[in-house]
Amino acid sequence: MHTPGFGGVASRCTYWHDWDMQALLTLADDYGTLALGLAFLVMLFAGFTKGAVGFALPMITISGIGSFMPAGIAIAALILPSLVTNLWQALRQGPGEAWGTLRRYWRLNLVLLASIFAFAQLVTIISDHVLFMVLGIGVTLFSAIQISGWIPTISAKTGRRLEPLIGLVSGFFGGLSGVWGPPIILYLLSQNMPKRESMRVLGISFVVGSIMLTGAHIRSGLLGPVTLPLSLWMIVPALIGMWAGFQLHDRLDQEKFRRATLVVLMLAGLNLLRRGLLG
């Protein structure tokens, strides 16, 4: 991925023992203290949204942080917060329920793992413009479908057959951008799944994908001496936001908040398209 200035950032923090505040200071020098502070606020809001509706942390993060930092840094920033918040979401109803869900959806998650690993290797070689366009189209299309109220109807038997394809499509977007939720969400909606179970299934698929994405980007070099510390620091606002979002999830009307979230995602998708078209 072509990220202007990104190589220079990494070259000035070359030792892993410098991961502490030096990495943040390096980013602040390159992009400004205001941009770094805004990045933490974006992650706080993304965590809140995920706690409230069960998804959208990667989409909000990459659109928000990607507005004022290179796409590579935005993707790296969301990797570890995604992993930690997904674990919390998946295990909220207990490890037994989580294990049962993992066994039930093993086809989807196995293909998701393999495809995330494969497509993640392309991140360092494709341009920011292409990445923003691909993700922007995906997020905007998903949001528009949801806002329109259209929900596909798929039988349980057909759904099982489609799970590998859903895992492949999800993994394509996930490997390139760290966002693989929309195809899975549409699939779960087509099954008319209860809210609690849907949150758990999403959490499991997000955990599986996050583990693979972390490993893939350590291998690709996207998580390095500067971006790994950034991703670690981003766990803090993500967890605070998610805790607050859980309080809302348990109390307020979910349909109204879901529609408001979709409007935010639509704006995020359009912003990604703007970045892809105009830079």
Q: pLDDT for 132-154, tens place per residue?
A: 888 888 888 888 887 887 877 88
- Greater confidence (192 vs 210) lies with 210
Distance separating alpha carbons of residues 277 and 279, to the nearest angstrom: 6
Q: 49-88 burial, b for 16+ CB within 10 Å, e for fewer? A: bbbbbbbbbbbbbbbbbbbbbbbbbbbbbbbbbbbbbbbb
Report pLDDT for 141. Answer: 87
pLDDT, tens only, 19-55: 567 888 889 999 999 999 999 999 999 999 888 877 8
Distance separating alpha carbons of residues 210 and 116, to the nearest angstrom: 9
CA 272 to chain CA centroid, Å, is: 14
Q: What is the DSSP string of 129-169?
A: HHHHHHHHHHHHHHHHHHHHT------HHHHHHHHHHHHHH
Mean pLDDT of the chain: 84
Residue 15 has pLDDT above 60, yes or no: no
Which amino acid makes up residue 25? L
pLDDT, tens only, 96-120: 888 888 899 999 999 999 999 899 8
Mean pLDDT of 13-19: 49
Do residues 202 and 71 lie in contact, with contact meaning Cβ atoms separated by under 8 Å?
Answer: no
Distance separating alpha carbons of residues 150 and 162, to the nearest angstrom: 19
Q: Is 35 helix (H, G, I), strand (E, B) or coil?
A: helix
Domain boundaries, the chain: 6-278
Report pLDDT for 162. Answer: 93
Q: What are phi and psi of 4, to 5 degrees?
A: -55, 130
Distance separating alpha carbons of residues 244 and 182, to the nearest angstrom: 23
pLDDT, tens only, 194-208: 777 887 888 889 888
